[in-house]
Amino acid sequence: MGVTDSNPEFTVRQARADDEEAVVSFTRNTWGDRHGDYIPEVFGHWVETDGPDQRTFVVDVNDGADVAGVAQGVMLSDTEGWAQGMRVNPDYRGQGLSPSLSEAMFRWTRERGAAVCRNMVFSWNVAGLGQSRAVGFEPATEFRWAQPDPDPDAAPDLDVTADPAAAWAWWGSSDARTHLRGLAMDANESWAVSEFRREQLREAADDDRLFVANDGGTRGFSYRSYDYERETEEGDAETWGIYGVGAWETTDAARAVLRAVARDAGEQGYDNTRVLIPEGAGPVSDVAAARMSVSDEPDFVMSADLTDPDVV
């Protein structure tokens, strides 16, 4: 069940429900004043829902006297693994715990058929980026969030349809697909990216979640992927709509796509939106030209080639 590292002072194993108090204690202030960490809110659910396609790991130190690290591996498809939530108690950093957690996730996902394992790291998290590179992750892509305000009355300037065939054909040769390495928000795992598939467009069209901008031909698209509810610092509930990718050729197309998203979000009753867009001067300035908000910093996606025998 667990994976034992060669270091006799600590062991990587599958997490249990009684690990929650220890994990919450060292993840409560992971990022200091920058923003809160989600691990205290989800760890219990992670352990409860572990199964064939998901495994939560912790690190035991001093013969099980303390839990000093946590991470989770998830199978997003038959060939794609995802690594998330890696945290190490500050009291134990620099002792090889992070590499052992990564190696455990690599082995677990590889055993289930994964050819690649990816993770996501905040661009400002230099330590996390360095650690990812050290254990075998390589840079894959970077993205940012466009954040149009929900508005049921938003009116796209261009014709917007729900044609999945047109969207897929355009995506296949788009700069956005090349930049994003064909990745978009995963449909089932929150805050994970996976290979974007044609059937996702068909399903979105069937559910009125696809928005394709036309201007003498297809010029871009977006689609609603999922939504979630969270509690604000004031204790109020707010709902976020997540749009799997937003991509376009021109500023006019960007404005049309994002207005379609804003209208959809307003009709769904969302309080906020996030639309994954490629990082770069073009896409970011297009959002700004459309007079819509964009996140302050990009996020980085890293990828480990599990077919490489040098990746543990």
pLDDT of residue 11: 92
Q: Is the predicted pLDDT of residue 16 greater than 50, yes or no?
A: yes
Q: How confident is the model at residue 30 (pLDDT cuts 50, 70, 90)?
A: confident
Share of the chain above pLDDT 70, in %: 96
Mean pLDDT taken over the chain: 93
pLDDT of residue 32: 62
The pLDDT tens digits of the residues spanning 196-254 come to 999 999 999 999 999 999 999 999 999 999 999 987 777 789 999 999 999 999 999 99
**In whole angstroms, what is the distance from residue 98 CA to residue 94 CA?**
8
Q: How confident is the model at residue 299 (pLDDT cuts 50, 70, 90)?
A: very high
CA distances for 167 relative to 245, 264, 306, angstroms:
12, 18, 31
Between 5 and 76, name the one with better pLDDT: 76
pLDDT of residue 31: 64
**Average pLDDT in the 262-288 region?**
98
Are the C-beta atoms of 59 and 45 separated by less than 8 Å? no
Strands 237-248 and 272-278: parallel
76 backbone dihedrals φ, ψ, rounded to 5°: -85, -25
Please choose, from the candidates 241, 232, 139, the residue with its C-alpha nearest in 3D space to the C-alpha of residue 190: 241
Please choose, from the candidates 175, 192, 284, 181, the residue with its C-alpha nearest in 3D space to the C-alpha of residue 242: 192
Q: How confident is the model at residue 33 (pLDDT cuts 50, 70, 90)?
A: low
The pLDDT tens digits of the residues spanning 178-189 come to 999 999 999 999
Q: Is 232 exposed, middle or buried (0-12, 13-18, 19+ CB in 10 A)?
A: exposed
**Average pLDDT in the 14-31 region?**
90
Q: Is the predicted pLDDT of residue 64 greater than 90, yes or no?
A: no
Q: Is the predicted pLDDT of residue 256 greater than 70, yes or no?
A: yes
Q: Is the predicted pLDDT of residue 63 greater than 80, yes or no?
A: no
Helices (H), the chain: 20-27, 39-49, 97-111, 126-134, 164-172, 175-180, 198-206, 251-268, 281-289
pLDDT of residue 8: 43
pTM for the complete prediction?
0.92
Please choose, from the candidates 185, 191, 235, the residue with its C-alpha nearest in 3D space to the C-alpha of residue 38: 191
Bridge partners of 147? 293
Q: How confident is the model at residue 94 (pLDDT cuts 50, 70, 90)?
A: confident
